[in-house]
Amino acid sequence: MDSTSRLKVLNWLSPIDHENQQSDAFSQCQSGTGKWFLESEEFKRLLREPKEALLCQGIPGAGKTVMASIVINHLQGEFPQRDIGIAYVFCSFRQHNEQTLEDLLSGFLKQLAQQQPEVPGCITTAYGQFIARGILPSVEKLIELLISVINSYGKVFMVLDALDEINASDGTTRSLIATLFEIQKEAPISFLATSRHAAIANILSVFRSNESQFLDIRASDEDVRTYIDGQLDTLRAVPSKDSKMRESIKDTIVKSVDGI
């Protein structure tokens, strides 16, 4: 398959540029932050176990999207080998119409296909069949394709940011999580999801019934200090050699933030 045909098949699955979204989110990160999360036992278990789920909740402004992008960047650096797949989605309430269950599953499928030297045969076959009929794959077909593609990897990691920004009124959020747990029964995936506290109370039972892990996202003192250091370096009013002033500023802000 030439590059033009490959791009056509991938864009048929999803027109979204996921890499660009990750780049935008990660550009908001202050270098050196997020270590507490990456070093947590919950995250280490996500990496270690063959099939795991981790739900991370926090209040608005706690840095959930930034943390999701840090996790994605860490996974990409930690597992460059081709037998580890990585897929993610940054949900947004502004894009409800582009975040149906079909859209989300297709987005995962596109990314996993994109990471392989050749588009998997099951996808090219489906493309030919559905293009000829002028229709899109059903949820059931997308699940079938995902299971097939995921099983071509040693393991797949998925990151879902801002579950609370998916349109919950039509049941998409619950269906998505339930679907991932169903796929997990037949394929090696571990996934991490972020959400505001209490915003997805209706699907917490799905996570709990599948023995998931939970970890709150909050601004750690270390991260706040690292961020402030970076900002102070840009301010001429605060001399870089005045360590006492810098520490005083950091102490005051850390106390005010209190984990946000």
Calculate mean pLDDT across residues 55-68.
Answer: 91
pLDDT for the residue 81: 84
pTM, rounded to two decimals: 0.86
Answer yes or no: do 191 and 250 share one domain: no
137/167 same-domain check: yes
For residue 114, pLDDT beyond 90: yes
Do 125 and 232 belong to one domain?
no
Judge if 136 and 107 occupy the same domain: yes
Query: Higher pLDDT residue, 112 or 221?
Result: 112
What residue numbers bound the domain in which 9 lies? Answer: 3-218
**CB within 8 A of 7, min separation 6: which ones?**
none
Q: 3-class SS at 199? A: coil
Note whether 114 and 82 are within 8 A (CB): no
| Same domain membership, residue 100 and residue 27 | yes
- Residue length, the chain? 260
Claim to verify: residue 127 and residue 210 sit in the same structural domain: yes
Indicate which CATH number applies to the domain containing 13: 3.40.50.300
Q: Which string of DSSP letters, residue by residue, matches 113-158?
A: HHTSSS--HHHHHHHHHHHHHT-PPPHHHHHHHHHHHHTTSSEEEE
Residues 165 and 200 grouped into a single domain: yes
At 186, list the tokens: 């037949």
Extended beta strands in the chain, E state: 53-58, 84-90, 155-161, 189-196, 213-216
In which band, very low, low, confident or very high, does the pLDDT at 253 lie, cut at 50, 70 and 90?
A: low
The verdict on 127 and 182 lying in the same domain is yes
40 & 131 share domain = yes
Query: What total of structural domains would you count in the chain?
Result: 2
Write down the pLDDT at residue 191. 99
Strand order in the sheet with 155-161: 84-90, 155-161, 189-196, 53-58, 213-216
Q: Do 155 and 233 reside in the same domain of the chain?
A: no
Does residue 231 carry a pLDDT above 70? no
Higher-pLDDT residue of 98 and 71 is 71
Which of 31-35, 88-92, 107-111, 144-148 bottoms out in mean pLDDT, i.e. has the lowest? Answer: 31-35
Convert the pLDDT of each residue in 11-37 to its tens digit: 999 999 999 999 999 998 888 889 999
| 114 and 190 inside one domain | yes
Q: Are residues 204 and 229 in the same domain?
A: no
Residues 6+ apart with CB under 8 A from 147: 183, 186, 187
Residue 10 is encoded by which pair of tokens? 């991938």
